[in-house]
């Protein structure tokens, strides 16, 4: 069992708050925080020019939540939304090699693969994803031996709080769900 620090708990609290915002916006409550963790032995800067703010160790590069329903795009998972935002601010892709990711739920197989391609340093998640998990629940994409880059994935930080967040979401009707799914539950959109 991994011992998490007070700082890591704080980052997960921010991810959980993003998950709550997602619920309020009708999204699945995946919240994420990208934290800059440079190697102290390397002299690396997080910005490529003076117009991009420099981030020091332990600073948040980006935070956010799922946007799949809002964008009608199934690939707009929280992790990928924030990757795009960080890159749009002018940071080089190499910045992800020095990032830890805190996310409410285990990254899905797609996101776990994308994080591997970005050479992310570490992923810390709250609850497991028993349907689509890519960091150990279904597949272990993060540690697949055929990949050039593997990353550490630590589970269980504020797991109960993350589970409560998801239960809260699934207790509500998802008005974004296809009508056939609502009927299956007896929750047809027709009133």
Report the mean per-residue pLDDT for the chain.
Answer: 88
Q: What is the pLDDT of residue 154?
A: 98
What band does 46 get if pLDDT is binned at 50, 70 and 90? low
pTM of the model: 0.86
What class has domain 6-184? Answer: alpha beta
Q: Following DSSP, what letter does each residue of 61-122 receive, concatenated?
A: EEEEE--HHHHT-TT--HHHHHHHHHHHTT--GGGGGGEEEEEEEPPBHHHHHHHHHTT-SE
- Report helix, strand or coil for 161: helix
Worst-scoring range by mean pLDDT, 62-71, 82-91, 168-177?
168-177
What band does 188 get if pLDDT is binned at 50, 70 and 90? very low
Answer yes or no: are the C-beta atoms of 116 and 101 closer than 8 Å. no
Annotated domain spans of the chain:
6-184
- The residue annotated as part of the active site, out of 27, 79, 98, 106, is 79
Worst-scoring range by mean pLDDT, 110-124, 129-143, 165-179?
165-179
79 is known as an active-site residue: yes
Mean pLDDT on 41-46: 59
């Amino acid at each position: 069992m991994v011992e998490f620090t007070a700082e890591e708990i704080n980052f997960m609290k921010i991810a959980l708050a993003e998950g709550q915002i997602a619920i309020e916006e009708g999204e699945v409550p995946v919240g994420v925080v990208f934290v800059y963790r440079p190697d102290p032995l390397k002299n690396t800067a997080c910005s490529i020019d003076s117009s991009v703010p420099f981030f020091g160790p332990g600073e948040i590069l980006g935070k956010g939540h799922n946007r799949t329903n809002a964008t009608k795009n199934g690939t707009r998972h929280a992790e990928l939304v924030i990757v795009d935002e960080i890159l749009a601010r002018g940071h080089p892709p190499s910045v992800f090699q020095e990032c830890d990711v805190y996310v409410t739920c285990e990254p899905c197989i797609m996101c776990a693969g994308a994080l591997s391609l970005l050479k992310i340093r570490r992923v810390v998640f709250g609850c497991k994803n028993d349907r689509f998990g890519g960091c150990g629940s279904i597949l272990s994409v993060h540690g697949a031996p055929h990949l050039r880059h593997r990353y550490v994935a630590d589970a269980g930080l504020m797991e109960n709080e993350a589970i409560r967040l998801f239960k809260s979401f699934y207790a509500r009707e998802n008005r974004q769900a296809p009508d056939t799914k609502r009927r299956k539950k007896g929750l047809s959109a027709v009133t």
